[in-house]
Structure 1
Amino acid sequence: MSRTIYCNGTFVPEARATISIFDRGTLFGDAVYEVTAVFDGRMIDNDLHLARLQRSLGELGIPMPAARKEIARIQHELIARNGLREGVVYLQVSRGIADRNFLWPEDIAPTLIGFTQAKTLHDTAAQREGIEVDLAPDTRWQRRDIKTVMLLGQVLAKAAARRKGCDDVWLCEDGMVTEGASATAYIVTAAGQVVTRPNSRISLPGCTRQALLRLCAVHGLTLDERPFSPAEAQAAAEAFQTSASSFVTPVIRIAGVAVGTGAPGPVTRHLQQLYLETVGVRAPVSN
């Protein structure tokens, strides 16, 4: 069944959803995006995603295409029209349409598109059993805090990791892990301390990360926001990663080295359950 797509002011069937070849998102990667998880027909942490969308656009000097309330209404309409119960709703905002030129005209108007994707978010094999991540150099641009559509570095790193038999990849720079290719990276020390890199220009301020850090504070889990090396990660008691579309996912091997016992650890399991309870998912991750 064809999806309904939102395309710059209009809801249209997927086959009729088109944008200009002169859109700057296509020509220059001059665009940002957000992905919000949907479970049981409800969006999760969407206020955080819309706030990050507005921040990313502001950093690039692109105006919001509509007020947050209106964008949320569009998201709800997409979910309803497509009957989405579990999956994601995707938004992309480009600077707009103009003849190809590095400099853009002053009167350019942003392009907004949106669509849904049905997918399983909860109780996946990765969440139950854990995943293996590879390690790769971080070759991306220096403003990784802006959620742009320029994802070629991540695409190539993920493809290389898959060829090695890994499920995902963590990126490294200056001897430290920056983040996952599409997730925030964490380790857990032998003392049970959760460690993740602080927000800065070299990593994306994850929305699921923000929600998880709140849970650590509320439930008395010790958190240390600092960089960590690949060697420290491989020697950690536990490791995991978070993202909007995978929640809390255990990492049980890093570049061929088993982390801890080689199975999802108790702190990770605890955080999985706390997050699921917070977003209203009652069914636990199967053990």
Structure 2
Amino acid sequence: MRLVRYGRPGKEKPGLFDEEGRVRDLSAIIGDIDAAALGDKALRKLARIDPKTLPLVRGTPRFGVPVKGVGKFIGIGMNYADHAAETGAEPPREPIFFLKATSSLSGPDDPVQLPKGSKKTDWEVELGVVIGTRAQYVTEEEALNHVAGYCVVNDVSERAYQFEMGGQWDKGKGCDTFGPVGPFLVTRDEIHDVQDLDLYLEVNGKRMQSGNTSSMIFSVAQIVSYVSRFMTLEPGDIITTGTPPGVGMGRSPQRFLKKGDKLRLGIAGLGEQQQEVVAFPK
């Protein structure tokens, strides 16, 4: 299934895509796509519904984050060796992870807002993993059973805040609008091999990033298992799993986002995002 939340910010309704790519309204079936809807039993119940029996959503609605009530938004750093190389870093021996503020979450096509004083805001297309059932000290063999599904994430990052101002990476990762997620949550049964998905990102029509999840240093199963050793993962938590090469920081000369830039990014089978970069409102 491809589950979505559509409508104005803060007023989103649950929905799903039918076989023709049209949005169907789920609000008579479930209250929202939240923790209660992400377990295996709840997803199987939704999967039994014939989409043709659901009301058709007219027009081209805005999409929000496909999960309501995200408790933790966890990022994995330097998880592609070629990305680590372009930044001058050694590939990590163990997963690096950090927290992105949940206040950074935004819809997949909502504008990306440059924070005040930003000079090095960068892009990062990433595979997002949505947790479906509670995971605590899970093995790699068990890990994917705790996943509800997958989505596209743009791990927008302000590099000066991240690397030049001391402290943790969180400082450059959690600004408002720095976490576009969606357009939809694709349930794990729809993805044949999560370690063989193409990723891409364009800025103003120019391809900047191309990669495949087969190049991850740590697989999705390894990541879920590893993170669950240090914090309990709850339904609705999102882990964004690292980016392939081609970020602005790694280019020569470096290239960072400016007002008016247009981003287009996606992952095979998981849909596409499009964002315009805007200035911080005065």
Higher RCO (C-alpha 8 Å, min separation 6): 2
Regarding TM over 0.5, the answer is no
Q: Which has more radius of gyration?
A: 1
TM interval, shorter chain, is under 0.3
Instruction: Give the TM-score normalised by structure 2.
Output: 0.25
